[in-house]
Structure 1
Amino acid sequence: MAASSQTGMSITLEFSGGAELLFGKVKKHHISLDESTTAWTIKKLLIWVKDNLLKERPELFLQGETVRPGILVLVNDADWELLGELEYEIKENDNIVFISTLHGG
């Protein structure tokens, strides 16, 4: 019985530059998003991440419905600003990277 027969879309999330500290110090997460009647967008993904992966201090990762200023988001190595930001529709096997550019001192 192949596990891949379950419904869902597989993607990879990566957190670095200190952002991984908010996610249990785990840099890479392979996740399966449930099929839904509406497309998975980054906006919808951020809510899922907050509810399912974020371990502490959500205010350091999220601001309102988006990521905080100072967090760079890349989708398959492209800046999400070029792809529609929150409205980007996630596709099977996308690699989405969140890099914190803010460093404490």
Structure 2
Amino acid sequence: MTEAPTLNLKIEFGGGLELLFDNKRSHRVALPPPPPSDTQAAPTDINYLIQWMKDNLLRERAELFIENGTVRPGILVLVNDTDWELEGEGEYELKEGDEVVFISTLHGG
């Protein structure tokens, strides 16, 4: 079994989410492949990216970004400028050079 390659991705944040991620709006990351399960290689999908971001990029208040293992309601996710709902949401398998944008649509007042 060959291991999946590291993927180079661009991750961007808007609507205040950048405050949770070291106050940086844009990150270029080398996403390592997920650990394989007992039977097969796990997919390098957005679900995996979200967990990796939680463990490696998120600096504070995880509850403002993640709920029940995925992004909280009110966070718009775009994959290469397309709503992730049209791409299979968390099951979208990431490709080299993809750009994933997370935008909070909830604002305090």
Query: Normalising by the residue count of structure 1, what TM-score does the alignment of the two structures yield?
Result: 0.90
Q: State the match for 1:21 in structure 2.
A: 19
Shift of 1:35: 3.4
Shift of 1:38: 2.4
Using the aligned pairs only, state the percent identity. Answer: 57
Q: Are 2:60 and 1:56 aligned? A: yes
Structure 1 segments, 4+ long, off by >4 Å, are none
Q: Are 2:77 and 1:79 aligned? A: no
Shift of 1:43: 0.5
Q: State the match for 2:106 in structure 1.
A: 102
Where does structure 1 lack aligned partners over 5 or more consecutive residues?
1-6
Query: Normalising by the residue count of structure 2, what TM-score does the alignment of the two structures yield?
Result: 0.87
Higher helix share: 1
Q: State the match for 2:51 in structure 1.
A: 47
Distance 1:76 1:97 in 2: 8
Distance 1:57 1:45 in 2: 18
| Structural RMSD (CA) | 1.0
Where does structure 2 lack aligned partners over 5 or more consecutive residues?
35-40
Aligned residues: 99
Q: Deviations over 1:43-69 (max 9, x none)?
A: 011100000000000000010111001
